[in-house]
A and B are shown apart, each in its own frame.
Chain A
Amino acid sequence: MTKLSRRMAIGATLSASLATPRLLRAQSAEVVVHYPMPAFFKDVMEKIAEEFARAHPGLTVRYLAPAPNYEDAVQQVLRQGVAGGLPDVSFQGLNRLRMLNERRLPVDLRPFLSRDGDPAPRGWTPNLLGLGQVRDVQAGMAFASSNPIVYYNANLVRRAGGDPDQLPTDWNALIALAGRVHALGDGNSSMHFRWGGDDWMFSALLYGHGGRMLREDERDVAFNGAEGLASVTLIDRMVKEGKMPAFTVDAALQAFYAGKMGIFSGTTAYIGSMQRSIGQGVDLRTTRMPVINAEKGRLPTGGNAAVMLTRDAARQDAAWKFITFATGPRGQELMTRGTGYVPCNTIAAADDRYLGGFYRENPLFRPAMEQMPIAQAWYAFPGTNGVRITEEFVNNIARIVEGNATPEVALADMATGVRRLLPR
């Protein structure tokens, strides 16, 4: 029994030491920040923290362990909303802001904005502010944004009879070029349009035609009209005429890296990994998305926004300083140079002190920046099934790509599926 009680004593001490609760946070001199996708943002965030501390003596930034992706980032905040422990600032995917707002988690930033005066001279146009708005609430400040572009393998383009300096500007030419790349054979794939994962790229086509997802009152679908039909027909043409194979996006990227795919259409955020993983012989080019409707055409915006979560007034002040720094010219310059995402600050983008020279030196990044004026907010569906709805798009487009459904049937099923999931 003596052995037992000694063991018990050791066990008790061990258990007690393990349960040491976290030390209380330092007094309001610290901003606790959480961000996603460390592979992209870690270096950038650390630089921002460094310069922020220098610009605001007395304030430091403490980063929590980053979330691997946007989905985990929103899960974390939702969990913390239930169990406590929200950080002061969190960077959330733009299409998640609506859901967070419905849970009443983000702090409305309008009072802070108006207190500091007109945002436009500081680089935040109404368009940019709109990216972080949900209805009238300024749920976040857009930090890193992306929009869809087209990547080309110039060698394959040349071999297929195209001109790498005169790349297609409309879909007919692009699809025709893809068909010619396919005809090269030798294991070369023609193109990939990143239809998987979510509804973002589909919305690129839909908005490009001037269409919209839901009606104004959000009670019924609007994407099954002429614009929607044209969009799915376009995807069907990519498959039938452009010979687009039914690859997963990872397979498509790998084929592109290996120099065995001619055209890839997806987010500009891929540029970084393209540059890192692409084979040495591959001559990479990027262009804007083919223009469908010159006046009404728009594009969706991906990326993330800085959201303020703390309700403590002192911490809010510090958090606001951090947010304005990160989304200000210098922070946006650091962000763009480090990741290739599009800056959400007009001063950063245009002024030579910041990124003016960058776009001259890095032509690959230019298309996305040039598309900023027609980039609109990433639409988030209302109601509890908001996330599940995006699956309806992906699943039905998969049927088109695999040739299991005609565009008309797939579109009709999309509409029925989404209707079923809309709030009643």
Chain B
Amino acid sequence: MRPGEERSLLHDLPRLALLGLGACFILLPYVWMFAASLKPGSEIFRDSLTLWPERFYAIENYGKALSEVPMLRFLFNGALVCALILVFQMLFAVPAAYALAKLRWRGREFLFGLIMLGLLIPYHVPALPLYVVFARAGLLDSFAALVLPFTISVFGIFLFRQAFKSLPDELIHAARMDGMSELSIVWRVIMPNAWPAATAFATFSIVAHWNDLFWPLIVVQSHAMATPALGVLFFRAEEAGNDVGALMAAAVMVTAPMIILFLLAQRRFIQGIATAGLKG
């Protein structure tokens, strides 16, 4: 099997069949979710797997998802929060990654060790102390509270460090000869060469924070600040009271932008991880 080679459809069939089988396994929950978003409540839980609705209820379900909560507002908030987080993450991570990858200085290994430590800490751990600090500072229920805790992305530093390591040193020497300061080197020389890695990181970051439920649940107190995942949570009332049709409709509305994002960016995304020095 030579990668990338063109083959006749017959030769390709085994590959397509296997992938298709796997795809069914992957898609099954999504297919059910989407089907449920088109059905009225009484049809969703049935003895047999009937995907197509008898009574087309999509308008009611999606309408409810849009009207019970200001879903569009939540989607907008989500976009804004993710964009802000990404900007700050890059601002902080890229220079640090460069320093860790290309510069020689005492304390480099120590800082890198701390970063690896940060990678291991579960997100629940800093939550309560951060909450208290934000609450005392009166910052709750604001974009600051939603964005600040995530401005440090240890995963980003890790990824960019790998990417920068594989860049040739000559680029940097040449830039230094030209009298550029280290900071300019970072943004003018290194980043443009590692742009694919940035796309990869951007995708991971946006997806992770778009779906985040735990932290927004703690800091959001008014509907004006809620994020997409909270919008979906609204329809889930523990054991009883799940309006399953509307819940699925909301979930579809929240997941769709991410899928579209990936479809648009996937080639760059794959390239990006490749360039992120997974070659070492």
A11: CB under 8 A from chain B?
A: yes
Stretch binding the partner chain, chosen from B43-51, B106-114, B258-266: B43-51
Stretch binding the partner chain, chosen from B3-11, B14-22, B135-143: B135-143
> Smallest Cβ distance from B235 to chain A, in angstroms?
6
**Are A18 and B242 in contact (CB-based, < 8 A)?**
no
Which residue in B41, B132, B217 is a CB contact (below 8 Å) of A276? B41
B237: CB under 8 A from chain A?
A: yes
**Are B241 and A39 in contact (CB-based, < 8 A)?**
yes
**Are B243 and A39 in contact (CB-based, < 8 A)?**
yes
Interface centre among B44, B221, B239 (most CB of A within 10 A): B239
A109: CB under 8 A from chain B?
A: no
Are A21 and B138 also in contact (CB < 8 A) when A11-B91, A40-B237, A273-B240 are?
yes
A363: CB under 8 A from chain B?
A: no
Are A19 and B142 also in contact (CB < 8 A) when A65-B220, A79-B131, A253-B240 are?
yes
Q: Which residues of B sit under 8 angstroms from A15, Cβ to Cβ?
A: 144
**Are B222 and A65 in contact (CB-based, < 8 A)?**
yes
**Are B242 and A19 in contact (CB-based, < 8 A)?**
no
Q: Which residues of B sit under 8 angstroms from A66, Cβ to Cβ?
A: 234
Which residue in B132, B135, B181 is a CB contact (below 8 Å) of A1? B181
Are A19 and B91 also in contact (CB < 8 A) when A259-B47, A279-B45 are?
no
> Smallest Cβ distance from B280 to chain A, in angstroms?
32
Measured in the bound complex, the distance between the Cα atoms of B43 and A278 in whole Å is 8
B223: CB under 8 A from chain A?
A: yes
Which residue in A11, A37, A80, A277 is a CB contact (below 8 Å) of B42? A277
Interface centre among A1, A11, A269, A273 (most CB of B within 10 A): A273
Which residue in A1, A37, A64 is a CB contact (below 8 Å) of B238? A37
Binary contact track A65-100/B, C-beta < 8 Å → 1, others 0: 110110010000001101111000000000000000
Interface centre among B218, B230, B241 (most CB of A within 10 A): B241
Q: How many A-B residue pairs have CB under 8 A?
A: 119
> Smallest Cβ distance from B71 to chain A, in angstroms?
14
Docked complex: A227-261 residues within 8 A CB-CB of B: 249-250, 253-255, 257-260
**Are A277 and B44 in contact (CB-based, < 8 A)?**
yes
**Are A40 and B144 in contact (CB-based, < 8 A)?**
no
Interface residues on chain B, size class: 35 or more
> Smallest Cβ distance from B236 to chain A, in angstroms?
7
**Are B236 and A270 in contact (CB-based, < 8 A)?**
no
> Smallest Cβ distance from B260 to chain A, in angstroms?
27
B273: CB under 8 A from chain A?
A: no
**Are A22 and B140 in contact (CB-based, < 8 A)?**
yes
> Smallest Cβ distance from A342 to chain B, in angstroms?
15
Measured in the bound complex, the distance between the Cα atoms of B148 and A15 in whole Å is 9
Measured in the bound complex, the distance between the Cα atoms of B239 and A260 in whole Å is 18
**Are A84 and B135 in contact (CB-based, < 8 A)?**
yes
> Smallest Cβ distance from B25 to chain A, in angstroms?
21
Measured in the bound complex, the distance between the Cα atoms of B223 and A33 in whole Å is 13
Are A277 and B41 also in contact (CB < 8 A) when A21-B138, A22-B142, A37-B237 are?
yes
Q: Which residues of B sit under 8 angstroms from A65, Cβ to Cβ?
A: 220-223, 225-226, 230
Measured in the bound complex, the distance between the Cα atoms of B240 and A40 in whole Å is 9
> Smallest Cβ distance from B240 to chain A, in angstroms?
4
A362: CB under 8 A from chain B?
A: no
Are A79 and B218 also in contact (CB < 8 A) when A22-B141, A37-B241, A254-B45 are?
yes
**Are B46 and A38 in contact (CB-based, < 8 A)?**
no
> Smallest Cβ distance from A142 to chain B, in angstroms?
19
Docked complex: A246-298 residues within 8 A CB-CB of B: 249-250, 253-255, 257-260, 267, 269-270, 272-273, 276-280
Binary contact track A16-58/B, C-beta < 8 Å → 1, others 0: 0011111000000000000001111010000000000000000
Measured CB to CB, the nearest residue on chain B to A16 is B144
> Smallest Cβ distance from A88 to chain B, in angstroms?
13
Measured CB to CB, the nearest residue on chain B to A252 is B239
**Are B138 and A277 in contact (CB-based, < 8 A)?**
no
Measured in the bound complex, the distance between the Cα atoms of B238 and A272 in whole Å is 13
**Are B135 and A267 in contact (CB-based, < 8 A)?**
no
B244: CB under 8 A from chain A?
A: yes
Q: Which residues of B sit under 8 angstroms from A258, Cβ to Cβ?
A: 45-47
**Are B230 and A4 in contact (CB-based, < 8 A)?**
no
A187: CB under 8 A from chain B?
A: yes
**Are B239 and A197 in contact (CB-based, < 8 A)?**
yes
Measured in the bound complex, the distance between the Cα atoms of B239 and A176 in whole Å is 27
Measured CB to CB, the nearest residue on chain A to B225 is A65
> Smallest Cβ distance from B53 to chain A, in angstroms?
13
Q: Which residues of B sit under 8 angstroms from A72, Cβ to Cβ?
A: 217
Known contacts A15-B144, A65-B225, A85-B140, then 5 further A-B pairs from the complex at CB < 8 Å, ordered by chain A residue: A22-B138, A22-B140, A69-B237, A79-B218, A276-B243
A contact set with B: CB distance below 8 Å: 1, 3-4, 11, 15, 18-22, 37-40, 42, 64-66, 68-69, 72, 79-80, 82-85, 187, 197, 249-250, 253-255, 257-260, 267, 269-270, 272-273, 276-280
A-B contacts, 8 listed (Cβ < 8 Å): A1-B181, A19-B142, A22-B141, A37-B237, A39-B237, A79-B218, A260-B47, A273-B242
B contact set with A: CB distance below 8 Å: 41-47, 68, 84, 91, 128, 131-132, 135-144, 147, 181, 183-184, 187, 217-218, 220-223, 225-226, 230, 233-244
